[in-house]
Chain A
Amino acid sequence: MRYVVNTIKILILLFFAGVFQYVLPQHDVVRIVNTYQERQDLNDWTRIFWANPDDQSVELINRDVQFIQTVKKRTWLLGFIPRDREEVMVYRNEDTGWSWPFYFKFDTASLQTEADDLRSTPEVPKWAVMTHYGWRNELLSTFPNAIAIRAVADPGIYVIPWFNIFFFVFLAVAWLTIRGMWRQFRERSVDPLLHDIDEAADSAGQKARGFWGRWIGRK
């Protein structure tokens, strides 16, 4: 039984870690190679890896999506440890509008223009920091969604993830509040009720007391 409970706990934890890893913003140092636009089929389950820019896009089975092709500085440990190697990375560029995930991004066309403006060659590279969320998976054809881009002089720059720091601090505070709330609720509302029930059961005789004792785990 304990193994089952622990397994379920670990699965829930992994699920939330995955969701956060997918949804929270991350920063890549990139050099933009090209941008393009391509029609995408959206009528299978991988639809969840594409955004819903507006209401009609929910029902469309295909539509044009803009992409940004880059060469990216590789990192280890979610961007915390820089490396000297590069890889190619392709970002999609879609509005998220008013829907999940809540980036409230409406400036896809402007972002595409900024990306075009930053195009450069390996000989004369122009580096930029790309803020994005999402996963690149060649097998499922999923792409991270570009959120913002800004030019940087030094490709060795480290961007402090302020949003994520605040987010996890907030999450910890919220968790402690909910825990405090639950304890207060038990102490003030549930326990007195059980106490009353217990007393009523006491007066109702040994048999009833045994029943309630088993029910609430008290002797």
Chain B
Amino acid sequence: MALIRLVVFGFIFLSVVYLALSWYSRSLRREKLEDSWAEDHPDDPTGPARDAFIADGMAEYEGGLRKKLILLVYVVPAILVIGIMIAINMS
């Protein structure tokens, strides 16, 4: 039971961390895209071309490696738990 409790609450907690980090990473990327557009097109601050540029950049982000790396939020704690178990019990 204690193991199930740990897994369930651990999963819920890590999911919150995962969602927050995903939002943060996406938001940083969008801001970067907006900034680079503003730098390259100082005469055209808004409009459909800018929207398309940002949509393209975000589509690239959604398929990119960085988004997948956030999944490490689940992997690293699992490895850490196994590592601690080995370090504590196998000496």
By a beta-carbon cutoff of 8 Å, the part of chain A in contact with chain B is 52, 54-55, 97-99, 102-107, 110, 147-148, 150, 177, 180-181, 184-185, 188
B24:A102 contact, CB within 8 angstroms: no
| Number of A-B residue pairs having CB atoms within 8 Å of each other in the complex | 46
> Any chain A CB within 8 A of the CB of B27?
yes
Q: Which of B1, B21, B81 touches A104 (beta carbons < 8 Å)?
A: B81
**Cα–Cα distance between A147 and B27 once the two chains are bound (Å):** 43
Chain B positions 1-15 with a Cβ under 8 Å from a chain A Cβ = 1-3, 5-6
**Cα–Cα distance between A10 and B24 once the two chains are bound (Å):** 30
Q: Which of B2, B21, B91 touches A148 (beta carbons < 8 Å)?
A: B91
A148:B88 contact, CB within 8 angstroms: yes
The 7 closest A-B pairs by CB, nearest first: A98-B2, A104-B85, A107-B89, A98-B3, A181-B24, A55-B1, A98-B6
A55:B2 contact, CB within 8 angstroms: yes
List the A side residues contacting B2 at CB < 8 Å: 52, 54-55, 97-99
> Any chain A CB within 8 A of the CB of B79?
no
**Cα–Cα distance between A148 and B91 once the two chains are bound (Å):** 8
**Cα–Cα distance between A110 and B89 once the two chains are bound (Å):** 9
- Interface residues of chain B: helix, strand, loop or mixed (majority): helix
Q: A54-B2, A97-B2, A99-B6 are in contact. Are A104 and B24 (CB under 8 A)?
A: no
By a beta-carbon cutoff of 8 Å, the part of chain B in contact with chain A is 1-3, 5-6, 20-21, 24, 27-28, 31, 81, 84-85, 88-89, 91
Q: Which residue of chain B is the closest to A103 with respect to CB atoms?
A: B88
- Interface residues of chain A: helix, strand, loop or mixed (majority): loop
Q: Which residue of chain A is the closest to B20 with respect to CB atoms?
A: A181
Q: A181-B20, A188-B31 are in contact. Are A106 and B6 (CB under 8 A)?
A: no
List the A side residues contacting B3 at CB < 8 Å: 98
**Cα–Cα distance between A177 and B28 once the two chains are bound (Å):** 12
B88:A105 contact, CB within 8 angstroms: yes
